[in-house]
Amino acid sequence: MKNKVIAFVGDSIGRQQYQSLMCMLTGGKDDIDVQDVGEAYGLVKQLGSVRPEGVAHRFVEANTTIIYYWSASLCDIQPLNETDPNTEYAMHIDRPVMFVQEFLRVMDVLVLNTGHHWNRGKINANKWVMHVNGQRAGSEFRTLAVARNYSMTKIVSWLDNEIMQNKTEARIYVRSLSPRHFFEGEWDSGGRCDNNMVPVEEKNVAGQIGTDAVAEDALKGTNLHLLNITYISLFRDEAHISRYRANQKGQDCLHWCLPGVPDVWNEVLYAKLLFDGETG
């Protein structure tokens, strides 16, 4: 693809899809033909931060830029008190993260994902306080399933409106939920996935959820598209990092080894872009 801007916005699994694509394009080697252009997108390390909120690299010969931006919820997150280092953060569940609002107009392909951070532990740890229409959300959003459904619908609607008003020509995909494979417990209670050697057979995934109903429902009747990787990834319970991640307390049966499963997601993405005529 030439003269394009391809962006991944989402959580750490979205980052893995970005890393996978970069490895596929570079062969995993440093390439002088690839430039760090993060500064052009405001992706620089802020004072007191461990790392930038994202990365952007431009392939000079193709004039194509690949971006990753961290946004675990896809919501616009703003501090309630900018002068307080211990402040809570307004989690505006009815509008997309500011990075998307600012840079959507220059994107040709946008791949979004969220899901695994929509739990009470993550929300409390991040000090997120849900807001709707600029005000603290009411009691109807205390149930996280309701809040996530509402948020995905509103964010998709916002993006669809940008397309309908010809404010963007981006091809926008919502990637479905990446499956977890914890056996004999959870991530913090001895769950493991290092005892499997080969991909599971189809009969052994029968009855498991192979779709992302939240994303599918939100996308109905819009100009956005589903990148459904859930079912094909269910078969690869042996492909997670498991016990091979350094300095971890338990096994990682959420993230994937690279090269690995996210490579297939990018092959599916490329096939969709090729079919849609977006690879010129």
pLDDT digits (tens, 9 = 90+) for 223-255: 999 999 999 998 888 888 888 876 677 888 889
How many residues comprise the chain? 280
Kindly report, residue by residue over 20-40, the tens digit of the pLDDT.
999 999 987 876 799 999 999
Q: For residues 159 and 194, which has the higher predicted lDDT (pLDDT)?
A: 159
- Mean of per-residue pLDDT scores for the chain: 90
Q: Flag whether pLDDT at 60 surpasses 90.
A: yes
* CA distance linking residue 171 with residue 184, whole number of Å: 41
The burial class, CB within 10 Å (0-12 / 13-18 / 19+), for 13 is: buried
- Whether the CB-CB separation of 65 and 110 falls below 8 Å is answered with no
Q: Flag whether pLDDT at 75 surpasses 60.
A: yes
Q: Flag whether pLDDT at 205 surpasses 60.
A: no
- For the segment 65-79, the average pLDDT, to the nearest whole number, is 97
Lowest mean pLDDT among 1-10, 44-53, 260-269: 44-53
Classify each residue of 94-123 as buried b or exposed e, where b means 16 or more C-beta atoms within 10 Å of its C-beta: bbbbebbeebbeebbbbbbbbbbbbeeeeb
Kindly report, residue by residue over 95-141, the tens digit of the pLDDT.
999 999 999 999 999 999 999 999 999 999 999 999 999 999 999 99
Nearest 5 degrees, angle CA 141-CA 147-CA 150? 115
- Whether the CB-CB separation of 253 and 191 falls below 8 Å is answered with yes
Q: Flag whether pLDDT at 189 surpasses 80.
A: no
* CA distance linking residue 107 with residue 100, whole number of Å: 9
Kindly report, residue by residue over 154-169, the tens digit of the pLDDT.
999 999 999 999 999 9
Q: What is the pLDDT of residue 280?
A: 57
pTM over 0.75: yes
Q: Flag whether pLDDT at 277 surpasses 70.
A: no
Q: What is the pLDDT of residue 235?
A: 85
Q: Flag whether pLDDT at 66 surpasses 70.
A: yes
- How confident is residue 192, by pLDDT bands cut at 50, 70 and 90? confident
Exposure of 56 in the CB half-sphere (CA atoms within 13 A): 23
Q: Flag whether pLDDT at 269 surpasses 90.
A: yes
Q: Flag whether pLDDT at 13 surpasses 90.
A: yes
In order of their start, the domains of the chain are: 5-275 (3.40.50.1110)
- How confident is residue 41, by pLDDT bands cut at 50, 70 and 90? very high
Q: Flag whether pLDDT at 188 surpasses 90.
A: no
Q: Flag whether pLDDT at 202 surpasses 90.
A: no
Closest CA to 107 of 167, 151, 152, 47: 167
